[in-house]
Amino acid sequence: MGRWLARLHTLNPRWLYLATAILLIIPLVILIPMPRGSASRATRGLYDAVEAVPAGGIVMIDSSWDQGSRSENAAQLECVVRHLCQRRIRFVVTSLGTVFSPEFAQKTIEPIAAQAGYVYGRDWVNAGYVQSASGLAPVISALALDFHTIRQADVRGTPIGDLPLMKEVRTIRDVRLVYVVTYAPSPEWISFITGQFGTPVAFGCMSMMAPNYYTYIDSKQLCGMLIGNRGAAEYEALIRHPALGTRLSMAASFGNAAVILAAVVGNLGMWAARRAGRRGA
């Protein structure tokens, strides 16, 4: 038994790859019902912030995620847009610094907005790609002061001033909440929007960035945050519409279990190998 355990220490990694792939297919093929815990403080903060926006109010969404972070950011964008549509809150979408983001944002938002009866140009606008210049700081700062100068046309090339919704959005003061969903939202949003104008800002970020941003939740510089697919799943539970986030977080259970098992197996193998080595000596 000890010798068998010791062999676990030098397992060929390809067996691990195969085991991981099989483990992850199981929840996709077989729907396994699992309990859903209550929403975290960060998720509830964003939910309450959206609830505080009156119907007809305007929210700004910076959807700057692309293929690299689609796995978590897509669900985060979907659930919040769904909530905005439920509450009849209008929204403007921008994409700062990433060229592919407007396309992903458009494809994600369009079906949800259409289902809610939202009319493009009147209820929502995709203002398209905003090139960064010396990072995002000058762009965020200028966008807050004069939106129409920084984005002069929407994603389809329509002059921004021709869109009914954009006639009401000139500066950040016309917006009730800013929701930034991307791989690692830039803290410049906090400095130049919340810090300078007091407009609440919330993040939707990849799980690995959450530990870095928790400090802003603690200092109330961020009103809320969605952390990975778990955050999206919690938000979907709050708006009573389980969707992509819930499905993906169910599957994440198996992925995390794979990593924990791999670490346990590796340590077991190491201890068994050490004992066998000591016996041999």
Partner 1 sequence: MRRRAVWLITFGGGLFFLLEFLLPARTPEWLGGVGNPLTPFLPSATNFLIVVSAMAVLLGPLNLVRRYLGMIVRREQGRLEGAVFLVFLAVSIVAASCEGANIHRAFDTLYNALFYGVQTAFFASSMALLAFYLVSAAHRAFRINNLEAGLMMASAVVILLGQVPLGDWLTQGLPDAFQVRHAAQWILAVPNTGVQRAVEIGVCGGAFAAGFRQWLGIGATTR
Partner 2 sequence: MTDPLAVWVGAIVTLGVFSYLARDNPFYRLIQQAAMGVVVGITIVVTWKQVLQPMWLSPIQGALAGTRDWTGALWLLALVPGSLWYFQLSKKWFWVSTLVSGLFVGVAAGLAFKFRILLILPQIGASLKPLNPFAGPNGFTWEGFLDSSNNLLFLAALLTTLLYFFFSVKTENRWVRTPIRWGRLMIMVALGAMFGNTVMTRMSYLIERMQFLYEMWLRPLFPG
Three-state SS string over the chain comes to: CHHHHHHHHHCCHHHHHHHHHHHHHHHHHCCCCCCCCCCCHHHHHHHHHHHCCCCCCEEEEEECCCCCCHHHHHHHHHHHHHHHHHCCCEEEEEEECCCCHHHHHHHHHHHHHHHCCCCECCCEEEEEEECCCCCCHHHHHHHHHCHHHHCCECCCCCEHHHCCHHHCCCCHHHCCEEEEECCCCCCHHHHHHHHHHCCCEEEEECHHHHHHHHHHHHCCCCCEEEEHHHHHHHHHHHCCCCCHHHHHHHHHHHHHHHHHHHHHHHHHHHHHHHHHHHHHC
Task: Restricting to residues 42-71, name those near partner 1 by CB under 8 A.
Answer: 66-68, 70-71
Sign of CA dihedral 137, 66, 84, 92: positive
Q: Give the residues lining the site for partner 2 (CB under 8 A).
A: 14, 17, 20-21, 24-25, 28-29, 70-72, 99-100, 102, 107, 128-129, 131, 133-135, 137-138, 141, 152-153, 155, 157, 159, 187-188, 190-192, 195-196, 206-211, 215-216, 218-221, 227-230, 247-248, 251-252, 255-256, 258-259
Q: Which is nearer to partner 2, 20 or 171 (CB)?
A: 20
Write down the least CB distance from residue 89 to partner 2, Å. Answer: 26
Interaction between residue 119 and partner 1 (CB under 8 A): no
Judged by beta carbon, residue 2 or residue 68, the one nearer partner 1 is 68
Task: State the minimum distance, in angstroms, from the CB of residue 142 to partner 2.
Answer: 11
Q: Which lies closer to partner 2 via its Cβ, residue 8 or residue 137?
A: 137
Q: Which residues contact 222 (CB under 8 A, 6 or more apart)?
A: 42, 45, 190, 194, 201, 202, 203, 213, 216
Q: Considering the rule CB under 8 A, would residue 230 count as an interface residue with partner 1?
A: yes
Q: Which residues contact 208 (CB under 8 A, 6 or more apart)?
A: none
Residues in contact with partner 1, counted by CB under 8 A, come to a total of 61
Told to check if 257 binds partner 1 by CB under 8 A, we report: yes
Cβ of residue 186: shortest distance to partner 1, in angstroms?
14
Minimum gap (Å) between residue 205 Cβ and partner 2: 10
Binding mask 129-168 for partner 1 (x = CB under 8 A): -xxxxx---xx-xx--xx--xx-----x------------
Selection from partner 2, partner 1, none that 266 binds (CB < 5 to 8 A by kind) is partner 1
Closest contact distance (angstroms) between CB of 242 and partner 1 is 12
- Is residue 59 within 8 A of residue 50, CB to CB? The reply is yes
Point out which residues bind partner 1 (CB under 8 A). 11, 13, 16-17, 20, 34-38, 40-41, 66-68, 70-71, 100, 103, 130-134, 138-139, 141-142, 145-146, 149-150, 156, 207, 210-212, 214-215, 217-218, 227-228, 230, 249-250, 252-260, 262-263, 265-267, 270
